[in-house]
Amino acid sequence: MSSTLEKVENLGINERLNIFLQRNRKTFIIGFGGLLVLLAGVIAFFLIRDSLEAKAVSAVENFTRRYEALSAELNEPGKAGEVQALQDELSEFAAKHRGYAGARSCSLLANIHAEKKEWAEAEQAWAKAAGLAPKTYLAPVFLFNAAVAAEEQGNIAGAIELYANVVSLKDIFPSAPRAQFSIGRLQETQKNNEAALEAYRAVINNWPGEAVWANLAQNRILVINRQ
């Protein structure tokens, strides 16, 4: 027994590895087979996911065509049933999908509510759209629209909060200076001059080369300081 151990100890690394593989070949075969099964499962998952996403995008495109066909007649009594059917389908679809498809369907629903001056529903739908696609360039667009809808309701505090959320995404939203200016404008309407000045200064400091909103912010600062 001891002589056998001595022989194994005297073998080189390659010989030892060969012996180990031979003794455990069934284990490795089983392990490799399991890896293949796992890999096949992962591939199937991505193929199914891609197929479902393609179907979802196709459905959204169909919703978009229907919305565009109705857009000029959304408030026509004769189209009320057709518009309501589209709204119901969009709501159901958005409840089942995230990402681009879910967000886009919510935004179409928000557009319908906005055209009908249903601002509370429009705000809710745009906010939901932003939540369904939080890491895309669409999120700040939807949040900005939600802020406008909040303003239309006279919900100034809610609008300011939504505009602030837009500004937090300034790296992907070119109209962030406008959102920051809107915060100052709304604070000014509430006679919160210090908060308004702070918001206007943020426009100037964060976007010094902005030709429109930085200049408007500077003008408002001058007006407030004269009061």
Confidence of residue 50 (pLDDT cuts 50, 70, 90): very low
Q: 2-173 in CATH: which number?
A: 1.25.40.10
Asked if 142 and 122 count as a contact pair (C-beta separation under 8 A), the reply is no
Taking the domains of the chain in order of start, what are their residue ranges? 2-173
User: Crossing angle, helix 25-70 and helix 13-23, to 10 degrees?
Assistant: 70
pLDDT higher than 50, residue 36: no
Residue closest to 204 by CA, chosen among 222, 189, 186, 192: 222
- Dist CA 117 CA 111 (whole Å): 10
**pLDDT tens-digit series, residues 60-98:** 888 889 888 888 888 888 889 998 999 999 999 988 888
In the Cβ-directed half-sphere of 144, how many Cα atoms lie within 13 Å?
21
Q: Is the pLDDT at 52 greater than 80, yes or no? A: no
